Amino acid sequence: MSLFTPLPLRGVTLRNRIGVSPMCQYSSTDGFADDWHLVHLGQFAVGGAGMVLSEATAVVPEGRISPQDLGLWKDEHVDVLARIGRFVRAHGAVWGSQLAHAGRKASVARAWEGGGPLSPSDGGWTPIVGPSALPFDTGYQTPEALDDAGIARVVSAFKDAARRALAAEMQIVEIHAAHGYLLHQFLSPLSNTRTDRYGGSFENRVRLLREVVAAIRSVWPEALPIGVRLSSSDWTEGGWTVEETTELATLLEADGADFIDCSSGGLVPKVHIPIGPGYQVHFAEHVRRGSGVATAAVGLITRAEQADTIVRSGQADIVFLARELLRDPHWPLRAAHELREEISWPAQYQRAKNRV
Ligand SMILES: Cc1cc2nc3c(=O)[nH]c(=O)nc-3n(C[C@H](O)[C@H](O)[C@H](O)COP(=O)(O)O)c2cc1C
């Protein structure tokens, strides 16, 4: 088993274990993808990735992080994404999207404009929603606590977005339940202080995410996989833990999920995260060994040998790369060369393959 061993997930086979980690581009108008997304995402398929996931894609407009987020909240969004999908698939990668709702972290400026909270007069919106009326940080809007009808609308929005993802020729969806966004906010006792059936006990805090997974599975073909990105730890006292992540992985698999993408953090500001090469890989390993569910590792995985070792040693089934793929979108082709793996290159590039 190596980085370049194909991975079957239900009826879909990844040509290798390298996934493009979702990366917000903050370049959409009214949620629409455009030529930027075609070139940005297309380059990774040309570069040999096994799976290309779009950035966090909002299931409702009020669930965007910034006004420029990508969306799948209306049928009109489908066509451009399908066009991108045809390109990505034609170049051998599995195509999908990360479905997201920002919850209390919605309505902020895009990253390169500071990322700070936006009021409606600055182009943001109100209200924003969350499990409880607790803001992310000082200066951020206080979310409205979702009532039962609001929760039901969130579940339906994820389900409808999955239907549109299918229309956009996607073969995989990843549910964003990490980085302090809405579904993670329900998981963690630090942001969820509800006393109804969506708060309090572990069973109650995980209920919304389980409902979302089950709702998506009800419309998503049996032959296609679903992933869930979780923050494996809030890295702070009293927060969500890797033990809970592992317990949840087993439940999510029963609900229809196929792998857990093990990220971390993002729920509360100003926590210390011990960042270094592969700093989250041990979470993927813990969850995989503890639950038997397939996992993805992500976070400062930059070298071919490092990625290969993660797969060979059984720490994770998939590695996701983000920033290193921005530096070198052809990283998988380079990695195969370094690891002396024989893989096919795009016909147009083959004259560069043998370096002579
Ligand atoms: C430009 C950029 C945008 C990102 N947007 C998202 C996102 O939309 N969804 C998500 O789950 N993570 C997002 N992330 C986090 C990455 O997916 C990844 O987990 C993180 O960067 C660590 O991996 P790396 O060390 O390979 O970059 C983003 C990261 C970057 C650099």
Ligand 1 pocket check for 321: Cβ under 6 Å: yes
Ligand 1 pocket check for 323: Cβ under 6 Å: yes
CA distance 189 to 116: 24
Which is the closest atom of ligand 1 to the Cα of 302?
A: 26
Q: Whose CA is nearest to atom 11 of ligand 1?
A: 22
The pLDDT of residue 65: 98
Q: At what angle do helices 148-167 and 207-219 cross, to 10 degrees?
A: 30
Q: Whose CA is nearest to atom 18 of ligand 1?
A: 322
Distance 354 CA to ligand 1 centre (A): 32
The pLDDT of residue 327: 98
Ligand 1 pocket check for 319: Cβ under 6 Å: no
CA distance 327 to 344: 22
Catalytic residue among 181, 198, 279, 349: 181
Low-confidence stretches of the chain (pLDDT beneath 70): 355-356
Q: Which two tokens stand for residue 9?
A: 């997930």
Structure confidence by residue, pLDDT tens digits, 76-102: 999 999 999 999 999 999 999 999 999
List the end-to-end C-alpha distance of the chain, in Å, as a whole number.
30
- The phi and psi torsions of 61 (rounded to 5 degrees) equal -60, -35
Contact 143, 135 (CB under 8 A): yes
Q: Candidates 18, 20, 24: which one to mutate for ligand 1, based on the most atoms within 8 Å of Cβ?
A: 24
Ligand 1 pocket check for 159: Cβ under 6 Å: no
The pLDDT of residue 353: 84
Q: Which residue has the tokens 């956009």?
A: 168
Choose among 11, 130, 49: nearest CA to 336.
Answer: 49
Which is the closest atom of ligand 1 to the Cα of 280?
A: 22
CATH 3.20.20.70 is held by the domain 7-353: yes
Q: Is residue 51 helix, strand or coil?
A: strand
Q: Whose CA is nearest to atom 10 of ligand 1?
A: 22
Ligand 1 pocket check for 294: Cβ under 6 Å: no
> Hey, how many other C-beta atoms are within 10 angstroms of the C-beta on 85?
25
Q: Which residue has the tokens 């997974």?
A: 213
Distance 234 CA to ligand 1 centre (A): 17
- The DSSP secondary-structure symbol of 68 reads T
The pLDDT of residue 356: 60
Known catalytic membership, residue 349: no
Distance 32 CA to ligand 1 centre (A): 20
Ligand 1 pocket check for 174: Cβ under 6 Å: no
Which is the closest atom of ligand 1 to the Cα of 21?
A: 17
Which is the closest atom of ligand 1 to the Cα of 324?
A: 26
Ligand 1 pocket check for 273: Cβ under 6 Å: no
> Hey, how many other C-beta atoms are within 10 angstroms of the C-beta on 150?
11
Q: Which two tokens stand for residue 169?
A: 């020729």
Whole-model pTM: value is: 0.98
CA distance 27 to 69: 7
Q: Whose CA is nearest to atom 6 of ligand 1?
A: 23
Q: Which two tokens stand for residue 313?
A: 């040693």
The pLDDT of residue 102: 98
Which is the closest atom of ligand 1 to the Cα of 179?
A: 11
Ligand 1 pocket check for 86: Cβ under 6 Å: no
CA distance 345 to 252: 36
